[in-house]
Amino acid sequence: MKWPEELRPSRLSRHTLVQNTLSLYGVQLPNYLMPLVVIPYLARVLGATGWGLVAFAQAFGTYLSVVVEYGFFLSASRDVARYRDDREKLGEILAGVLGARAVLCAGCVVAALAVGMCAPIFRQQAGLMAAGAYWGLIQGFSMSWFFQGLERMRLVAALEIPAQVLGIIAIFVFVHRTDQGWLVLALQGSAYALPAVFELALAYREVPIRLPNLRSIRDALRMGTSMFVYRGALTLYTTGNVLILGLLVSPQAVGYYAAAEKIGRASYRLLNPITQALYPRMSYLVAHSREKAHRLARLGAIVVGGGGLVVGLIVFLSAPWLVRIILGPEFGPAVPLLRILALMPALIALGQAYGTQWMLPLGLDRSFNLVMVLGGAMNVALALIMVPRYADFGMAWVAVLTEAMIAAGFYLVLRFYRLDPLRTRVGSEGGA
């Protein structure tokens, strides 16, 4: 069989998109190792109750991370991809983002201190919540968005993989008791901090050093607002579910749900590098060749959507084995939860293919955010109805229904604008 020239393995292996995808798999390797290596250890050391408390603190930290990150991973990465050949413009983008994050971080610290003084659970678990805040704030300062926009993720992989592996090793070395959940978060946060410092230094070798000013900070915040809305809405129906559970049910039930969700979402992350590698390339092609962008969007939807179906089926069939091996016998009640959540990878994949990979590069931010906000609001409303009656099982079904609504919403918007990537040709009109 003779391969077409553009599909020859030797040529594909040298393609920037393929290399960035493989590098992103390397960067996210610790996310795959966590369920396979660290979670089995922590599930047995911390137990369901201890794991539930750590999950609650992580949920709190994630909200702080979302504020500091402010959607720059998508909005700033998109601008870096568009202006990759303009060093002065890149310097302005970098300075504005760093200044905006510093301001947002200061606000988060004040807010965290206020919450810590008012909420009983935060006072009872002060050390754990402080570690969760540190973990979240450090993640918000990641510099990978800059190099993703430049499509140079191999550099990020070279820095982040060793740091994350060291963080995993440190957990085994230092965490041995049920009351050391705070240490897990502190070690993981430090593993994010080290590469961020080196990435910042390397970024300023690419662009001129500029100090943030009020104009650059304002411009960065304006640039990131729409993606911040997206990230905030996303957090409402992902991390927010654990927070709602933590406020309404026992830490043990939170532990069962959080453990099942951790495995379910880790399984979908197997597809994340493909989506993240496609995003900057799609942003570039939309500005330079709509026809090529459509072809890539169609291919991406088929690959990511099909991958989601396969991953979900594997998780559903192997749920008892996964829970027994990864979590241990104490987490037996998590098996039916994981089987419910196994419906999510395919739904998330469709949402990513239609939304992040296609709508955002097209500039359909408002429609994208409208779908996300409606999905997040529906998730909270359903959770408040379902959780008091059905506890963790109710939350699992709420999560699945929310993902289904969001995927359907993205599809309907694209059909309305005649921009469905699976169509043979894309309409020329329609808000892009």
Per-block mean pLDDT, blocks of 10 residues, the chain (432 long): 44 55 58 67 87 86 88 81 83 89 92 79 81 90 83 77 86 91 92 90 85 87 80 77 85 89 80 73 78 84 89 94 88 94 91 86 87 90 93 94 94 90 58 40
Cα separation of 148 and 216, whole Å? 21
pLDDT at 19: 60
User: Nearest to residue 280, comparing CAs of 3, 73, 137?
Assistant: 73
pLDDT at res. 431: 42
Q: What is the C-alpha separation between 123 and 116, in angstroms, rounded? A: 6
DSSP collapsed to 3 states, 376-424: HHHHHHHHHHHHHHHHHHHHHHHHHHHHHHHHHHHHHHHHHCCCCCCCC
- Helices 344-351 & 365-416 angle (0-180, nearest 10): 100
pLDDT at position 240, please? Answer: 81
d(C-alpha 320, C-alpha 336), whole Å: 8
Q: Quote the tokens at residue 257.
A: 């749900």
Neighbours of 150 (CB within 10 A): 18
Predicted pLDDT at 430? 42
> Helix 39-69 crosses helix 126-140 at what angle (to 10 degrees)?
60
Please, what is the end-to-end C-alpha distance for the chain in angstroms?
A: 41
The count of residues in the chain is: 432
Amino acid at 115: V
SS3 label, residue 80: helix
Rounded Cα distance between 292 and 295, Å, is 5
Please tell me the predicted confidence (pLDDT) of residue 187. 94
Q: H-helix or E-strand containing 284? A: helix 272-288
pLDDT for 396 equals 95
What DSSP string runs through 287-323?
HH-HHHHHHHHHHHHHHHHHHHHHHHHHHHHHHHHHI
Cα–Cα distance for residue pair 420/358, rounded to 1 Å: 9
Q: CA-CA distances (angstroms) from residue 385 to 8, 325, 419?
A: 54, 33, 36
pLDDT at 28: 58
CA contacts within 13 A on the Cβ side of 210: 22
Question: How many CA atoms does the CB half-sphere of 358 hold within 13 Å?
Answer: 32
User: What pLDDT was estimated at residue 211?
Assistant: 85
Q: In this predicted structure, what is the pLDDT of residue 33?
A: 57
